[in-house]
Amino acid sequence: MFDISKSCVLSALVLFLSACGGDSEHSMTKNLAGKYEQTLALEGMDREFIVYVPESAENRKASVVFMLHGTGGDGEKFYNFSGWKEKADQEGFIVVFPSALTYCYLEDNNYDGVFDKFQETHIKTKWDSGYIGDEAPLCDDADIQLLPPGAYSLVSHQLNGINNDITFIEEMLEYLQENYDIDSSSIYATGFSNGGGMVSRISVELSEKFAVLSSSAGIMRADPVPASRPHTFILTLGNTDSRSLEYFNYLNDPDISAFPLDETLLDIQNFKPSVINPLLSVLQLEDSYSYELIQMNGVDTGKFTYSDDLTGQGQKLIVFIIDGLSHQYPNGVNHPFVISDFLWEYFRNEKL
């Protein structure tokens, strides 16, 4: 009664085998285009992250870029304005936008050496880069108990000592490997501010998982021990970054209004010890560099390249000082420089 063509039968068989986990050569791709809001249960908490798969990543193995937000941000914020979603559309890679936990902590905003519980307490998202709980002490348990219910629910994990950001990164990597068709040799991470500090910690503890790492406006806070796998690291900093300038004004010269783009940058007291030297230790590089003034998207940029490695693996530290950039992740709207375009050219050329 029914006329079923051979092609229909074959199509049905292929779909059946795919659904049942047939031969991987005939399985349907796991990379279906879309924005996926995911959660992972860690230590009794749901950790949230966004996975963005562009149409250009369908039907093929894709590279992955992790984008870590700064203090007070979340994955959704950087999904919307970092520029990585749009770059993924163009180039066909997957982007992951995770969200940090919220903490109650104190920060010495005026650098007077005193933590004012009433003026310098913050309740914000923060990556455990090595700064939170150290230079930024956590609120006392008694103070947390006195918070309003909404705030208490966000930070109550502190009462249990939950501190699992490295585990969170590892679990996301495992989740991606199980649920998407990814190229494990081309996984990269970039971060802004506190997120950049977290990427620096990843550089120490998870170097075998990432091909290249990059921090924007965030310095290393973790103990700078040599990474198990030498790798290239890219550090970018705006020369009018207000937060960085405040820090160095306090340490050195209150009259510094902008970081120089030339080699006199390294003459600023404490700049090399706090910004450059920890990364040289992690990456196992000699303290010698080449310098050039370049144009990026029409913007003057000082480029410092440290490439004399101690391991013979060819790793580099590349530091860019970008003219006219304040404490922002440049996306072409808040500054002429589009950092996702720039970083991807470095990422795509290096693999594990």
Q: What does the pLDDT look like over 75-88, one tens digit per residue?
A: 999 999 999 999 99
Asked if pLDDT for residue 160 goes beyond 80, the answer is yes
Torsion of CA 227, 231, 232, 235, to 10 degrees: -20
The domain spans of the chain are 35-101+163-347, 102-160
Residue 89 CB contacts under 8 Å (≥ 6 apart), including other chains = 54, 55, 56
Are 189 and 126 in contact by the 8 Å Cβ rule? The answer is no
pLDDT score for 253:
64
pLDDT of residue 16: 37
Instruction: Find out whether 85 and 66 touch, Cβ atoms under 8 Å.
Output: no
* pLDDT bracket for residue 72 (50, 70, 90): very high
Determine the Cα–Cα distance for residues 219 and 224; give it in Å rounded to an integer: 11
Please give the share of the chain, as a percent, with pLDDT higher than 90. 79
189, HSE (Cβ side, Cα atoms, 13 Å): 26
Residues 50, 75: contact at Cβ < 8 Å?
Answer: yes
pLDDT at 38 over 70: yes
**DSSP-based three-state secondary structure for 17:** helix
For 35-101+163-347, CATH number out of 3.40.50.1820, 3.30.930.10, 3.20.20.70, 3.40.50.300 equals: 3.40.50.1820
Model confidence pTM above 0.75 = yes
Helix (H, G, I), strand (E, B) or coil at 62: strand
Q: Are strands 232-238 and 317-322 parallel, antiparallel or unpaired?
A: parallel
**pLDDT tens-digit readout, 210-252:** 999 999 999 999 999 999 999 999 999 999 999 899 888 766 6
What's the pLDDT score for residue 29?
65
Note the Cα 164 to chain centre separation in Å. Answer: 16
**Distance between CA atoms of 284 and 249, rounded to whole angstroms?**
29
Residue 18 has pLDDT above 80, yes or no: no
Beta strands in 120-173 (DSSP E): 121-126
Q: How many CB atoms lie within 10 A of CB 7?
A: 8
Cβ–Cβ < 8 Å for 194, 217: no
Contact 279, 235 (CB under 8 A): yes
Query: Residue 25: its pLDDT value, please?
Result: 39
d(CA 148, CA 232): 45
> Alpha-carbon distance 176 to 96, whole Å?
9
Q: Which of 18-32, 178-192, 270-284 has the lowest mean pLDDT?
A: 18-32
Number of Cα atoms under 13 Å in the Cβ half of residue 270: 10
Task: Judge whether residue 5 has pLDDT over 70.
Answer: no
